[in-house]
Amino acid sequence: MAEKEHNLPILAIVVPCYNEQEVLPSTNERLAALLARMVDDGTVSPLSRLVYVDDGSRDTTWRLIESYCRDNSLVSGLKMAGNRGHQNALMAGIDTARDKLKASAIVTIDADLQDDPEAIVEMTTLFNDGADIVMGVRRDRSKDSWFKRTTAQGFYRLMQRMGVDVTYNHADYRLISRRVAFAMKRYPERNLFLRGVIKSIGFNQKSVFYDRTERLAGESKYPLGKMINFAIDGITSFSVKPVRLVFTMGVIFMIIALGILAYVLHAKFTGHAVSGWASMMLSLWFVGGCVLLALGVVGEYIAKIYIEVKGRPRYHIDQWIHNP
């Protein structure tokens, strides 16, 4: 038995939680049952763990996590020192699972269980068959609100147009192998866009499909503003196309300017030079707007450089509760 256990993969299921007290009890019930089942039927090692990452919640999330760790030896808890956002919480969980749990495979799943946890079984099977990355892909989004669906779809389309390689309808529900977790150590960027990074790592990538359901309880931690920021960050941390576009815009404007130059000279020498208030006002504001926009795009990249150059830590860990 002990011999066999030795060969079983250690699975870590990383769950980022930010103010999730409403949903956590039912989430824990389902995930703990799932992991216990996988341990019992010999799919994964008894050293496997459910790792809740508390991303600086202000409600009773951490107290709930502490109690789950007490009651169930398969549960571990990681408390971050403050709110660092979804991507950093995931990274903290992945780092800890790799270094402290020595996990052979790490699954990340959102606390609201909108992504079907049963797909973890299939992910693990694919992992045992040699996959290094298994992406969870939503089959349809009919359960999402119209607004969420449309904005999310627009997001993928924009990303692809900007040259960022992402998998359509795949968020942060995936399995990665230990060597992918090690590969991620070599991406020190502060501006973390995990789905782009992981996809670009390569290795043997597979997908599993599942139906996305509604949030079990509580409300979305990604309001529109955060989503737009996330999209801008995703694009600017992966692609320099926006700066190219600014350059193209400049070229087009120079060509238009040549046309206007001809027109101006013609008007001056034929004595019609004074009229043209409308075209004057329009070009003033239009060109002014374009210049500001261009500055904004370039500024965005400079801001990114500024953040990266400082090289501040992505997160700090306050507590780590683990049942060895």
> What residues make contact with ligand UDP under the rule CB under 6 A?
16-18, 20, 55, 83, 85-86, 89, 110-112, 114, 220-222
Residue 92: name its binding partner from ligand UDP, Mg ion, none (Cβ under 5 to 8 Å by kind). none
194 binds, among ligand UDP, Mg ion, none (CB under 5 to 8 A by kind): none
Farthest-apart Cα atoms in the chain, separation: 99
Query: Whose structure tokens read 């780590």?
Result: 320
Least separation, in Å, of the C-beta of 8 and ligand UDP? 27
By a kind-dependent CB cut-off of 5 to 8 A, residue 52 interacts, out of Mg ion, ligand UDP, none, with: none
**DSSP string over 113-131:** --S-TTHHHHHHHHHHTT-
Q: What per-residue string of b and e applies to 86-121 under the rule 16 or more CB within 10 Å gives b? A: bbbbbbbbbbbbbebbebbbbbbbbbbbbbbbebbb
Quote the CA–CA distance of 176 and 113 in Å, as a whole number.
Answer: 19
Length of the chain: 324
Q: Which does 85 bind (CB under 5 to 8 A by kind): ligand UDP, Mg ion, none?
A: ligand UDP
114 is a contact residue toward Mg ion (CB under 5 A)? yes
Compare residues 89 and 162 and give the one whose CB is closer to ligand UDP: 89
Q: Which stretch binds Mg ion (CB under 5 A): 103-111, 127-135, 149-157, 160-168?
A: 103-111
Residue closer to ligand UDP, measured from CB, 21 or 239: 21
On whether the CB atoms of residues 78 and 96 are closer than 8 A, the answer is yes
- The whole-angstrom separation of Cα 159 and Cα 153 is 10
Is 27 a binding residue for Mg ion by CB under 5 A? The answer is: no
For the bound state, the minimum distance from the C-beta of residue 84 to Mg ion, rounded and expressed in Å, comes to 18
Of Mg ion, ligand UDP, none, which one does residue 83 interact with (CB within 5 to 8 Å by kind)? ligand UDP
Nearest distance from C-beta of residue 85 to ligand UDP, angstroms:
5
Burial of 41 (0-12, 13-18, 19+ CB in 10 A): exposed
Q: Given the complex with Mg ion, which of 66 and 112 has the nearer CB atom?
A: 112
Surface-to-core class of residue 78, CB atoms within 10 Å of its CB (0-12 exposed, 13-18 middle, 19+ buried): buried
Q: Does 19 bind Mg ion (CB under 5 A)?
A: no
d(CA 268, CA 266): 5
Look at residue 294 and give the partner it binds from ligand UDP, Mg ion, none, a contact being a CB closer than 5 to 8 Å depending on partner kind.
Answer: none
**Residue 216 near residue 23 (C-beta atoms within 8 A):** yes
For the bound state, the minimum distance from the C-beta of residue 152 to Mg ion, rounded and expressed in Å, comes to 11
Binders in 218-247 for Mg ion, by CB under 5 A: none
Binding site for Mg ion (CB under 5 A): 110, 112, 114
